[in-house]
Structure 1
Amino acid sequence: MKTAEVSPLDLWWSQLSPESRAAFAAATEAAARVGADGLTDDEREYGNRAFHEAGHCVAAVALGARIDRGYILHRGLEEDDGTTGRVVVAAMPLGGADAEIAYAGPWAQAKFRAGGGWPSPQIVASVMAASAGAGRGSDRHRCRLGSEGRDVVGLIDRCWPAVVAVARKLARDGEVQHKHVVAALGLSADESRHPFELAAIRAGMRAVRA
């Protein structure tokens, strides 16, 4: 019988005391406040991680993919490839959207660093440079070039309330699932309507509200 794989997040969380879990939750909730002043280094780092993965999650679902889960790791922990979080995509849309999903993470992180406003080219370049050093080959290449997938920025900007909601969930709990992103995007309970609702969001004909 195959043993279920334990993620680094699950292993780390299981080893924390109740007091440490409460402290982590308090710090990461502060990091989820867009534009908050006076963040500590830990809060700022959690915010960077949460908004980065939230950008990947929201872009994936908005573009028609289905995700299994997205998660972030505690400060000081990272995956073998240098990443501090991950989004596991269960199914990609027809035609693919790898470049857009890859670009959305660092761009959402840059928008967080800009206080929720439109990030300057300097902030975007800084985040892209940092992202180029981690992740699997294709993601590193795209972030290093900073070109493929950049058309997704308009979608992420329109979906920003959903990105904030997903980042809050990540910062608070360390993990999100597909259903959490669906709820953040304001999609209906009837999954058969999701393709039409997502198409309207992509076209700018359906607003994503906080």
Structure 2
Amino acid sequence: MRQAHAMTNTSNDTTALILIDMQQGMAAATSPRNNPEAEARIAELLTAWRERGQPVVHVRHLSRTPGSPFWPGQAGAEFQALLAPLPSEHVVDKHVTDAFAHTGLERWLHQRGIRRLVFVGVSTNMSVEATVRSAGCLGFDCQVVADACYCFDRPDLDGRPRNAEDLHRVALANLQGEYGQVCQSTELL
């Protein structure tokens, strides 16, 4: 099992905050979800990263499916105002769940010598999990902030309803230890 290193923010330590899919379409979703305070925790972390002068990456899902709320040019594809990138912050557009797939994110991080990543966003069991798995496999030291991620209720393969909190916890368990470390926002603030 791969062991991720504890994250600290010393003057020689660059840690990027990766915000995944914090778009208006996610905020407008009507499916039941867990962790209603996730956006507030993300905003706190974003403020702290900006104050520390640490790099911030905003990942945006742009769908290739016409009619999707995440279709380019639709309001749903735009960032939530509270979590919108500053002009100096990097934006990655993705078309699949994994933010490393065909985006140049890995190269961007390597060019800046960034090896430590902190992940927040939505959905824990989809884009967050897919992206953290890739990051861990690529050798990055990863932390996933449990109280700054959330997901939606979803049926299992047999059609049985599964609640968002259970899906969230299972996705985090899938990541813990093998791909990174799961933490709470208070540990980073």
TM-score range, shorter-chain basis? under 0.3
The normalised TM-score by structure 2 is: 0.28
TM-score, structure 1 as length reference: 0.26
Q: Which has the higher contact order (CA 8 A, sep 6+)?
A: 2
Structure with max Cα Rg: 1
